[in-house]
Amino acid sequence: MQTAPTESKFKTYYELTKPKIWYLLVFTALGTAVTASNIYSIEISIGTWILMLFGVAAGSAAANTLTNYHDRDIDAIMERTKERPIPSERIYPAEKARDFGLILAGVSIACAFGIAFTTGFWNGIWCGIFMAFGLADNIIIYSHALKRKSQLNIILGGFSGGAPAMIGYAAVTLTGLWDFGLIMAGLVFIWIPMHIWALTLHFRDDYQKVKVPMLTAVLSEKTSARVIAGTTLMMVLFSVVPFFLTTDTGEPVMGEVYLYTAIASGALMIVLSAWVVAKPTEKSSWVLFKFSSPYLAVLFIALMVDSAL
């Protein structure tokens, strides 16, 4: 008789962390770790895998939980979000969610710095720095400082999206961290505005209702569509950059498998964004949004496969 309430509470807190978001971010960390491991022939210890993946999952979940706590007032008004655990009072009082998020944040930072004991001292230091930076950028810069004040909120707040990739890379090696590692993190950073703006164009009435100045909720639908198309094109062009990188020995980092995958998947994204420009409707923006997450996952799968070959 007592099992159901426990399961229900677990599911509620699990929902609070926005698992669909942190699944993808954990996958980018995994992708960069595997890619770095393949390129430099470095074996990743079980301890490093556990600390890195669990730490990124906890950190992403913490950021989502604490931003949900901060946005509980507007979430209660927006149709898309009013049934979330806090505004629906499935978690009450709201401070329980805040405390849960702070615990997750502490666990994530401890895991990141703990990599110093499984890989190397400076690997752990950099992983911890990237974790702390990602949390601060998402919670403080994006959610608290910019989301309700600036049309560029998601751009400056998007730096946090690249943190898991940097953590995944640094957990394996520091060689190439500031070129190839940064570029893989850049794939996520450049992807974020298109992904979020496609969502906010679909739900622009909701954002206008609560006066949150997301770019595609403030601009006209036609202008918003052009902005989305422009950022999509930038994203696709940037996605081929890894193909032109070489290691210190002059060996190419990526091969044709990655290049053709980036071109083919990028072409699909350009076609979908062109559809949004031609018909800036809720349907077209929603389809682009739904395809954007698999697109990013495909790029990281291609990175892993090509580096293994």
The pLDDT score that the predictor gives to residue 249 is 77
The kind and range of the H/E element at 135 are: helix 121-136
Confidence (pLDDT) at 281: 85
pLDDT value of residue 199: 94
Helix 19-40 vs helix 182-202: angle between axes, to the nearest 10 degrees?
Answer: 160
pLDDT of residue 159: 94
CA 40, CA 216: separation in Å to the nearest integer? 42
pLDDT tens figures, 83-121 = 999 999 999 999 999 999 999 999 999 999 999 999 999
Residue 7: the pLDDT is 64
The per-residue pLDDT for range 175-199, each reduced to its tens digit, is 999 999 999 999 999 999 999 999 9
Q: What's the whole-model pTM score?
A: 0.94
Backbone angles phi, psi at 80, to 5 degrees: -65, -25
Q: Rg of the chain's alpha carbons, rounded to an integer?
A: 20
What pLDDT is stored for residue 2 in this prediction? Answer: 41
3-state secondary structure of 246: strand
Contacts 24+ apart (CB under 8 A), 245-248: 245/179, 245/180, 245/183, 247/39, 247/176, 248/175, 248/176
Write out residues in the chain with pLDDT < 70, as ranges.
1-7
